[in-house]
Chains A and B, each alone.
Chain A
Amino acid sequence: MEKQKAPIDHNNAVIRVHGLKKAFGDYEVLRGVNLELFQGENLVVLGRSGTGKSVLIKVISGLLKADAGTVEVLGQDIDQLTTKQLQALRIRIGFSFQNSALYDSMTVRKNLEFPLVRNRRGIGRKEIDTAVERVLEAVSLSQTINQMPSELSGGQRKRIGIARTLILNPEIMLYDEPTAGLDPITCIEINELINEVQERYKTSSIIITHDLTCAKQTGDRIAMLLDGKFQREGSFEHVFDTDNARIKPFFDYNFIK
């Protein structure tokens, strides 16, 4: 399935990262990453496990602090923000976690209501119900509303995780390994959902993955993270049209040839 292109505004970067460095102990994971995400764009960040892909989006969302460099999200330098300002900015960013991170002790309904109730104090019951039904319908899982997360399959958990972020109508979506641990058919369904979300909610997204099917189906642009830096970026075909001994095997060992 080829992705239907949504218009990308190349004059409007919603995320700008410059010279980003992050180390854990002596191990420097990110060594001067530069990145721009444009309005309406799906940027796929590819790389092997442990290359710092997830660290990158955690720094962008303010979950981790950068050691050096600047991160600008929707025109705001996240390092300069107060806790309150950062909280307000985060509402405009959706973060889909690798393991969905659904609240175990809450039903699907409560999981979806949680961000809404917390951030829109005084919101009415009817409004909450409408919003919950809307996002559940968007991820085609209306029937799971009263189930507990433990009763859902891996694919359903991913979808509910995405639905939970959509309930606040985010402008940016950050997907951390959206297809990890899923069967190929569910992977394709998740890829389609990512594209649907972009079209329906007009989001700009960064998709962290090492799944080339996901990269090809969802990415407008691919960036290859190697040794803590982006080594190659462009269209899917451009990125893999290389003899680079470290990028080529990535393509060769995947299903798509």
Chain B
Amino acid sequence: MDTTDTTPIIPEPAKRKRFASFRKSLTDFFASLYNINAFIIRFFKEAFLPPYEFKEIIRQCYETGVRSFTLISLTGFIVGLIFTKQSRPSLAEFGATSWLPSLVSIAIMRALAPLVTALIAAGKVGSSIGAELGSMRVTEQIDAMEVSGTNPFKFLVCTRVLATTLTIPILATYTGLISILGGFLNVYVNEGTSYRTYIGQVFDPLSFIDFTAALIKSIVFGFTIGIVGCYQGYNSSSGTEGVGKAANGAVVTAMFLIFIEEITIVQITSWFR
């Protein structure tokens, strides 16, 4: 007698269901990828054509700056202070504490300042843009704008994306300077190094490519925060749950993309050094 069990381990309908679910996830992924690209293309199509929304851009720049200023000041200072404090023992072992200012400046200007600024702004500004636009979508304020003859994409999206793209580099520069100040506090307390000597040592190892890379990085991060926040909010689904999802999605997606961009830009700039 043949005792071989021919019953499949996974029954046919379950297999089919699993495949259908996988196919749907894949389709959804590519659909959202297409939608994000269409959103970005629309931004470039509309942002640089008249009429220009200068007043709104300036207002949004102010909002972006003010929203993150306190947190960035505090975080920047602490990052500089802690980084210097934590690096000291390792350098002290080799009697190389005089290299601390150089180490601080390279770490901060090349990587930490743009990254810390972008992550804070993604949390503060990105979530706020996502929630604001999401709430406007849910309460039909975006529709109201559209039926009153205003292009809501230009007024709400283009202005916010331009504002974050312009403001984040300024904030990143500010974070860098504040962090260096934090580092100075530690160096001054431990070695009594004068401010003039410290500043000289800080800027000495930095090259043009460091500043350029930091600037490009900040611009890319700013654009990412703005476009992701706007995309999530502008396309949020109805209901209060949609607003929450938009705010959360804005932060998580922006942070994820920022890390990928950081790695990519670091790799590219290393080829030019």
Contacts of A88 in B (CB 8 A): 149
| Partner-binding segment picked from B31-39, B133-141, B256-264 | B133-141
A165 to B146, CA, bound (A): 12
Contacts of B151 in A (CB 8 A): 83, 87
Contact present for A115 and B148 (CB under 8 Å): yes
Known contacts: A101-B139, A104-B139. The answer to whether A91 contacts B144 by CB under 8 A is no
- Of A93, A101, A119, chain B has the most CB atoms within 10 Å of the CB of A101
Contact present for A165 and B148 (CB under 8 Å): yes
Contacts of A53 in B (CB 8 A): none
Expressed in whole angstroms, the minimum distance between the Cβ of B239 and any Cβ of chain A is 13
Determine which of B51, B148, B155 lies in contact with A121 in the assembled complex, contact meaning CB atoms within 8 Å.
Answer: B51
B204 within 8 A of A: no
Contact present for A91 and B149 (CB under 8 Å): yes
Contacts of A90 in B (CB 8 A): 146-149
Contact present for B140 and A115 (CB under 8 Å): no
Expressed in whole angstroms, the minimum distance between the Cβ of B134 and any Cβ of chain A is 12
Interface string of B38-82 (1 = CB under 8 A from A): 000000000000010000000000000000000000000000000
CB nearest to B135 among chain A residues: A104
A103 to B141, CA, bound (A): 6
Interface string of A76-94 (1 = CB under 8 A from B): 0000000100011011010
Expressed in whole angstroms, the minimum distance between the Cβ of A160 and any Cβ of chain B is 12
Expressed in whole angstroms, the minimum distance between the Cβ of A207 and any Cβ of chain B is 16
Expressed in whole angstroms, the minimum distance between the Cβ of A119 and any Cβ of chain B is 5
- Beta-carbon contacts under 8 Å, B145-179 to A: 145-151, 155
Contact present for B140 and A97 (CB under 8 Å): yes
A118 within 8 A of B: yes
Expressed in whole angstroms, the minimum distance between the Cβ of B194 and any Cβ of chain A is 49
CB nearest to A165 among chain B residues: B148
Expressed in whole angstroms, the minimum distance between the Cβ of B144 and any Cβ of chain A is 4
Expressed in whole angstroms, the minimum distance between the Cβ of B66 and any Cβ of chain A is 15
B241 within 8 A of A: no
CB nearest to B155 among chain A residues: A118
Contact present for A97 and B144 (CB under 8 Å): yes
Contacts of A118 in B (CB 8 A): 148-150, 155
Determine which of A83, A87, A97, A164 lies in contact with B143 in the assembled complex, contact meaning CB atoms within 8 Å.
Answer: A97
A83 to B148, CA, bound (A): 13
A202 to B74, CA, bound (A): 60
Contact present for A101 and B149 (CB under 8 Å): no
Contacts of B145 in A (CB 8 A): 103, 114
A83 to B140, CA, bound (A): 20
A95 within 8 A of B: yes
A108 to B54, CA, bound (A): 23
Expressed in whole angstroms, the minimum distance between the Cβ of B227 and any Cβ of chain A is 21
Contacts of B149 in A (CB 8 A): 87-88, 90-91, 115, 118-119, 168
Interface string of A165-178 (1 = CB under 8 A from B): 10010000000000
- Of B143, B144, B145, B147, chain A has the most CB atoms within 10 Å of the CB of B147
Known contacts: A90-B149, A119-B149, A121-B51. The answer to whether A101 contacts B135 by CB under 8 A is no
CB nearest to A120 among chain B residues: B149
Contact present for A168 and B148 (CB under 8 Å): yes
A231 within 8 A of B: no
Contact present for A115 and B150 (CB under 8 Å): yes
- Of B136, B141, B145, chain A has the most CB atoms within 10 Å of the CB of B141
Contacts of B144 in A (CB 8 A): 95, 97, 101-103, 164
**28 A–B contact pairs at CB < 8 A?**
A61-B147, A63-B143, A63-B147, A83-B151, A87-B149, A87-B150, A87-B151, A90-B148, A91-B148, A91-B149, A93-B147, A95-B143, A95-B148, A97-B143, A101-B141, A101-B144, A103-B144, A104-B141, A114-B150, A115-B148, A118-B148, A118-B150, A118-B155, A119-B149, A164-B148, A165-B148, A168-B148, A168-B149
Given contacts A104-B136, A118-B149, 18 further A-B contacts (CB under 8 A): A63-B147, A95-B143, A95-B148, A97-B143, A97-B144, A99-B139, A99-B140, A102-B144, A103-B136, A103-B141, A114-B145, A115-B149, A115-B150, A118-B148, A119-B150, A164-B148, A165-B148, A168-B148
Chain A interface (Cβ within 8 Å of chain B)? 58, 61-63, 83, 87-88, 90-91, 93, 95, 97-99, 101-104, 114-115, 118-119, 121, 164-165, 168
